[in-house]
Structures are given as structure tokens and as C-alpha cells.
Structure 1
Amino acid sequence: MTFASCRSLVLLATATLLAAGQAQAASADTLCNTLTGTNGLVTITECSDGASGYYNVANDSSATLFGFAVSTQAVNAQVPTQDFSLLWATRYFSQAEWDGNLDLSQYYGSFSQLFGTEDAGVFFYVNPNPASTEGIAAGTSVMGRFQFSAPIASNFLAIGRNDEGAPYVLSQSLAAAVPEPASVALMLAGLGLLGALRQRRRGA
């Protein structure tokens, strides 16, 4: 073996080691966070290096998943992307845009109800065609095919469809707000007052 051949092999081995080291450093800088729906039907794992990342989506329900939204602290974030065979629409919604969109707030709820008050917006992925049956089937997972540009730390909303094609909340990671005891007592007092008024009208 000539000196030139040995030198080429050494350079190649060095380059390979450097590339492996860079790959290990990149994966070491990537943080992952697993979000599970309160009903346990959908799990979304988000992984990010602080600037960009991807979602793994596991649908353990008995229904097809036709979309999902994951909240983020990023403001004016770039439009999310997908590397997937499904022709889903993708968009970033700020908190104000979500609450100002009647379709989103009517079907799913307000931003704070679904994602809390700490995040600035959501990355939204959805099949926009109500006649289409393409989605993440029951009992299946999609790994690393949905990309976003932001750090992790968020909540999610998963979307299903009923027999008429109308969307509904299949699962969400943020627990629904429980009324305060004082609010419950006030509501019960109001119901009692309404009952008394009805009885008085019947007696009259």
C-alpha cells in the first residue's frame, strides 16, 4: 500500500469519526417531550433542537385521526411542513387568530380552553376535505413526518370526525377546567331560584 493510499484511508476514517461525532452532538442537543391525551387515546411526542423539530403521532383510539394542533411559545412562527403521503393542510395560528376564527373556536373551543395561557400559538395539521377518509388510522403511528420550527413545551388537540363528517375533539392533553366550588354553589343557587319561580307561576 502506497503512502498516498494510507493517507487517503486516514483522512476517510477521520471524516467518518467527525461525522459520527457531529451526529451524536446533534441528537444530544435534541430534546423530546411526550404529551398524552387526558383520555389516553392519542400520544404526541415532540422533539426539537430549539430551532426545528418533528412530531411522532400515535393514535390508540378506535377512530381515524384527521388532524391535530400543538401549541408553541413561538411568535410569528414559520408555517409547519409535513413529509407524508397524506395531502393535509398546515398552518401556524396565533392565539388571536385561533380565537378569531369561528370555525376553530366553535368546533373545538377557545385557545385557552385547549392549550392554556402560556403559549403564543399553534402548529395546525389537518385534512381539510370532509369527504376524504385519509387520516392516521386507529391503532397506527406516524413517526417524524410532521415538522415544525420552534422549541418544545406545549399542549395538543387531536381531531376526529363523526358519521356526518363534522370534526370533534378526539383527545387533548390539557385537562378541562373544573369549576371553582363557589361557582358551582352560585350555579346551584340560580337553578334553585329558577325552580322556585316556576312553581310559583304554576301555583298562580
Structure 2
Amino acid sequence: MEELFQSTLSQVDSFAPKDRWQSVSKELYTMFWILNLKCIAVPGVDYSKVIKELKLGKRETGDSGKVKAEDRQKHLHAMEVEYKTATQVASVISRWMKTKAGGLLSGVENHVDTISSFLETCIVPRCGQSIPDALYCSRFLLLLQQLDTPYFNSIQLHDKLYSTIHGLLFSSTETEAWNWGYFFGEVLKRLLHWRSSKAVYEKECGSR
């Protein structure tokens, strides 16, 4: 991951104006664009459901819907290996992100506009592309908060998001608007979770 990160980092100046990095760093920009949803979020519930159904013989595969015990066992093994691999990859990337979080924005001159610049160069161009991208954007923002990334203010982030939502939706295609809906749905779900109790908020948000 570090090799890919450094390789991409060395190329970003070739397609972005130098003044772009006054308020958002090349490091944060690069990290955001080289990752995807599978890198940072493993659908453990879905994997567990499929694996359980295969073990119980309730999972139907193939055109006929009839699964021989041997075929079911092969499918079960493949699913377990896939789940294990996905979990390991996400764990490695999570640890890697932790090593980077502290310095992601340390070299930025203008931290006042960091949130706006990050939304403009990362979230807005990607979020409307597909549902996985929308979910990735939501998850990535949560990770930045959980990693307590310096200079990345969560209150300012949400304020900026909700002040621009109308413009985003009305300038989007129908498909893009649907994808934005998934993104804001995840963000609102998280806010409601934090609002559920003072203890939850203080534990998960603190001064972030």
C-alpha cells in the first residue's frame, strides 16, 4: 500500500495546480483516491449470512437452485477464504491509515478552507458516481474522524455538507441524486447514533 501511495503521490502535481495544496494536502487527496469501499469496509454481516446459509444448506446457487453437497462445500470454502482475505486487507489498510493520519494535513498552509477544498476535490467528484462510491465517501469521512485527524473538524464538515446539499442535488442527474441520497442517509444515520446519548457522543466524538 505504501508503494502505491508514494507512486501516486509523486504524480499528482502533473494534473493539479500547485495552489491546490494550500488548503488540502497531496497526501490526503492521494489516500482518498487510491482506496475504495472494499479497502475500508468489510460487509461482515452479509458474509456471515451467506456462510451460515451455506452451512445449513439453505443457500441456492446455479440455475436449478439445487446444490449438491460437494458444490455447496466448495462454495462455502471459497466464501470463507474471501471473507478472511477481505478482513485481512481491511485490517492492513486500517493500520496503514493510522500511521498516516497525524501528518495528513500538517503541511497545509490554509486550514480554514481545508474542509471546503476536500469536499470540492474528493467527495463531490466521487460521491455521485455510484452507490459503492457514495458509501465509500461516507465511510472515509468517518475514518478521518475516528483517527482523530488533526485539522479535520467534524462540526465544520457537517455544517458545510448541509449548507451545500440543495445545490448538489439540484445540479445532479437522477442517478447522481440517488447516490447522494445514500451518502447523506449514512451520514444522518451516524448523527442520530451520536445523538442517542451523551455518553455515546463523548466517547465517539469528543472534541473532534
- Normalised by the length of structure 2, the TM-score is 0.24
Name the structure with the higher strand share. 1
Name the structure with the higher helix share. 2
